[in-house]
């Protein structure tokens, strides 16, 4: 191992649990991971850190997933990569620098199955949102629950080129192993299609 990585073997680090997690994910991989269609947002230092529909559920252990966010969707100037954890530079320790707060509970993956994704410590954020619903504690396992989430994402229904319904006051039904179903109020119907 190179000298730059020897510090992780010989010095105690406040982030030793992150280093251990990163090494495990590099060598063994996650238990499971998959992209989610949910709109994910998080606030850090009272500012939106990201807003994405490309997050991934990553099972670091068999019990429940964490959200990993595409690095490209995070505020560029707020995330600072530190030292690589391995010689191949597969994953880096990183930190978030807001206007008033800093968090060093970040992993940035550059290679392997999680390449291009960033792990943000759930508790380090001010708030997390799935669609427009705040979530607490940790993400829930999508294989063990059904969610109906309010969403302000714009949904448009067309027949041919004709728009028959359009709304930003929707409910998304997320069921295990099924596509998301979208429900909108009756008032979403437009023009002559209204009943």
Q: Are strands 66-70 and 56-59 parallel, antiparallel or unpaired?
A: antiparallel
Cite the DSSP H helix spans in the chain.
3-10, 16-27
Distance CA 150, CA 171 (A): 5
Most confident region among 4-13, 135-144, 186-195 by mean pLDDT:
135-144
Q: What's the pLDDT tens digit per position in 145-195?
A: 899 999 999 999 999 999 999 999 999 999 988 899 999 999 999 875 544
Range name among 6-20, 50-64, 116-130 with the lowest pLDDT average: 6-20
Question: Does 11 score more than 80 pLDDT?
Answer: no
Rounded Cα distance between 99 and 138, Å, is 25
Q: What is the pLDDT of residue 5?
A: 45
Q: Name the one residue in this structure whose structure tokens are 């728009």.
A: 163
Question: For 104-132, how does the pLDDT look when each residue is reduced to its tens digit (9 = 90+)?
Answer: 999 999 999 999 999 999 999 999 999 99
| pLDDT at residue 14, rounded to an integer | 74
DSSP 20: H
Query: Sheet holding 47-52: strands in order across?
Result: 47-52, 40-44, 127-130, 133-135
**What pLDDT does residue 13 have?**
67
Q: Do residues 23 and 39 make contact, with C-beta atoms less than 8 angstroms apart?
A: no
Q: Note the pTM of the prediction, 2 decimals.
A: 0.85
Backbone φ and ψ for 187, nearest 5 degrees, come out as: -70, -5
């Amino acid at each position: 191992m190179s000298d730059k990585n020897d510090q992780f073997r010989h010095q105690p680090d406040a982030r030793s649990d992150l280093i251990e997690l990163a090494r495990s994910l590099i060598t063994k991989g996650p238990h499971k991971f998959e992209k989610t269609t949910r709109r994910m947002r998080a606030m850090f230092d009272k500012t939106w850190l990201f807003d994405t529909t490309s997050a991934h559920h990553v099972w670091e252990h068999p019990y429940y997933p964490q959200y990993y966010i595409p690095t490209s969707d995070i505020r560029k100037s707020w995330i600072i990569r530190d030292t690589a954890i391995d010689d191949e530079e597969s994953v880096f320790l990183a930190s978030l620098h807001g206007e008033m707060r800093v968090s060093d509970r970040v992993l940035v993956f550059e290679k392997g199955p999680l390449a291009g994704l960033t792990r943000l410590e759930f508790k380090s954020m001010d708030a997390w949102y799935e669609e427009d619903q705040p979530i607490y504690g940790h993400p829930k396992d999508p294989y063990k629950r059904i969610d109906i989430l309010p969403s302000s994402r714009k949904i448009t229904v067309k027949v041919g080129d004709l728009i028959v319904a359009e709304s930003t006051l929707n409910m998304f039904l997320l069921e295990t192993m099924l596509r998301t179903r979208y429900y909108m109020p009756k008032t979403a119907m437009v023009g002559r299609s209204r009943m």
